[in-house]
Amino acid sequence: MTLETMVLKMGEGFGKTCAIFFLTLLFSLPLGMAVALLRMSRNRFVSAATRGVISVLRGTPLMLQLLAVTYGPYYLFGISVSRNKLIPVVIAFAINYAAYFAEIYRGGIESIPAGQYEAAEVLGYSRGQTFMRIILPQVVKRILPSVTNEVVTLVKDTSMAFTVSYQEMFTIGKQIANSQTSFIPFIVAGAFYYVFNLIVDFVMGRIEKGLSYYR
């Protein structure tokens, strides 16, 4: 197999890698905010239960969660495994990353001085208006570096999909490497991931710079 053919074949898998990446962000970012708000709930039961779920998701391997979401329904309830492996893969990734984003959001929200809530109340803002118009914009600015770090990690974690035989780029590269007895496919895969991360880092850096309006 020529290098050009190898790159083209892995490029097809790269499309599936991108699908995992973007769909995970699409679902995990808003889900993480919902989880963060539940974690900060004044209801002790809700807060404790949410904290427990976050602890499990952050304390167990993503690989195990992928296996649980993909094959768990079959072993527990006899439900057939989804033919489209992208669905359970995205569900597992989204839930896992939502737990991490939730803690990042919580840290950002709790870093806002209480005086800002009091000032907003004096000005007649409702709790929802205070959060959306005053708190959230500041939180986004403060947590962006941490979110960027998680997004970069997500690019590399997409390779975990090989656990459930989803044909993303790393899985295809591994198959080619085994059939050709060559390490070159792994080098090509590494180049794909590196360039992808350079793009992600550039985009997130531009967003962060755009939010640095006091500099």
pLDDT at 55: 95
- Which residues 6+ apart lie within 8 Å of 51 measured at CB? 39
On whether the CB atoms of residues 23 and 94 are closer than 8 A, the answer is yes
For the record, the structure tokens of 182 come out as 């060559």
Query: What is the pLDDT at residue 137?
Result: 84
Is 3-211 CATH 1.10.3720.10?
yes
Q: What is the per-residue pLDDT for 67?
A: 93
The model's pTM: 0.89
215 residues of the chain, pLDDT tens digit each: 677 787 888 888 889 999 999 999 999 999 999 999 999 998 999 999 999 999 999 999 999 999 999 998 888 887 777 778 899 999 999 999 999 999 999 999 888 888 888 888 888 888 888 888 888 888 888 899 899 999 999 999 999 998 888 888 888 888 888 888 888 888 888 999 999 999 999 998 888 887 765 55
State whether the Cα torsion 104-105-110-112 is positive or negative.
Answer: positive
Q: Report how far residue 204's alpha carbon sits from residue 198's, in angstroms, rounded to the nearest whole number.
A: 10
Measured in whole angstroms, how far is the alpha carbon of residue 147 from the centre of its chain? Answer: 9
